[in-house]
Amino acid sequence: MNILVCVKRVPAPGARINITSDGQQVDTAFL
């Protein structure tokens, strides 16, 4: 569920959602 919350908080509509290599977290480096 945490991933869905993070996706809703993306500031830019064209921003990419990157998942970390382990697939457990959202990489927010580009947000």
Dump pLDDT digits (tens) for 7-24: 555 555 555 667 767 767
Band of residue 25 on the pLDDT scale cut at 50, 70, 90: confident
pTM greater than the 0.75 cutoff: no
Show the 3-state SS of the chain: CHHHHHHHCCCCCCCCCEECCCCCCEECCCC
Which pLDDT does position 4 carry in this prediction? 53
